[in-house]
Amino acid sequence: MGEMDSSVKSDLFEYYSARAPEYEAFYEGGVPAKLPDPAVYRQDTSAITKLLAGYIRGEFIDIACGTGFWLPVYEKNCRRITLLDQSESMLAECRKKVEKLGIANKTEIIKGDLFGYPFRPDSYDGALIGFFLSHLTDAEEDSFFHIIKGILKPEGVFVIIDDVWSQEIAATGRPKAGKVSRSLGDGRRFEIFKRYLGEQDLYDLAEKHDMKLEIVYWGRIFFLARASFLT
């Protein structure tokens, strides 16, 4: 699959911007999935919360950070934190967390597009990629990993949190990859591109992009993986 259709990409950006105030209901099994047993979301979120900080340190960037949901989990391990997102409404939620945590002096918030932002090479010890990879087409994925490799220091490590392809998701009738309809609490509907990842998908990504990858946690809804580039 090549570049994402421009209307689908526009819907994707608009959807997440509009969803910012209610986004974190996602981790409780609310919008958008509403599976029969929402406890699986809480279980996977709790498991990842306990593991995540162990893979984060130093100069760190949270890519497509959204509301900064994971920021309270890892911020104590970091000298400097960069929060990057295209949505001003998502970043507004991030700013609330930064203020509450009292970490404005070590945090930079950037409103921008990862694919066009002028990063300095070798800037970061690590990166968090949360629920972003699953919205990328194959062509965008190639560009994405090229950018990540460029901004990380030679020994840099990045972590991926995203949705698994599971029986629970398949039972909803959603495709493993393709356009899906998403709605907000106010009834607005959007068409976005979404793909779910199986374990073999991740290992294939690692081989394709010359990465060492370890699946740290594989839940029924979410996974956590740790990766670094081999060359």
What pLDDT is attached to residue 3? 47
What pLDDT is attached to residue 14? 72
What are all long-range contacts of 165-174, with beta carbons under 8 Å and residues at least 24 apart?
165/196, 165/197, 165/198, 165/201, 166/196, 166/220, 166/221, 167/220, 168/35, 168/37, 168/40, 168/220, 168/221, 169/33, 169/196, 169/221, 172/33, 172/35
Residue 192: pLDDT over 90: no
Matching residue, tokens 């700013």: 95
Percent of residues, the chain, with pLDDT higher than 70: 90
Whether residue 114 contacts residue 63, with contact meaning beta carbons closer than 8 Å, is answered with yes
Please tell me the distance from the alpha carbon of residue 121 to that of residue 91, in angstroms, as a whole number: 24
Which residue, 53, 47, 48, is CA-closest to 72? 53
| DSSP H or E stretch at residue 158 | strand 152-163
What pLDDT is attached to residue 26? 78
CA 177 to chain centroid, in Å, comes to 17
Whether residue 184 contacts residue 18, with contact meaning beta carbons closer than 8 Å, is answered with yes
Share of the chain residues as helix, strand and coil, in percent rounded to the nearest 5? 40, 30, 30
129 versus 35: the higher-pLDDT residue is 129
Helix (H, G, I), strand (E, B) or coil at 13: helix
* pLDDT band at 212; cut points 50, 70, 90: very high
Q: 216-231, pLDDT tens digit by residue?
A: 999 999 999 999 999 8
* pLDDT band at 4; cut points 50, 70, 90: very low
| DSSP H or E stretch at residue 207 | helix 199-208
The structural domains of the chain, ordered by start, are 6-229 (3.40.50.150)
Residue 214: pLDDT over 90: yes
N-to-C CA span, the chain? 26
For 64, other C-beta atoms within 10 Å of its C-beta total 20
Residue 78: pLDDT over 50: yes
Please tell me the distance from the alpha carbon of residue 194 to that of residue 203, in angstroms, as a whole number: 19
Q: 85-131, pLDDT tens digit by residue?
A: 999 999 999 999 999 999 999 999 999 999 999 999 999 999 999 99
pTM of the model: 0.89
Q: 138-183, pLDDT tens digit by residue?
A: 888 999 999 999 999 999 999 999 999 987 788 888 889 888 777 7
What pLDDT is attached to residue 155? 93
Mean pLDDT of the chain: 88
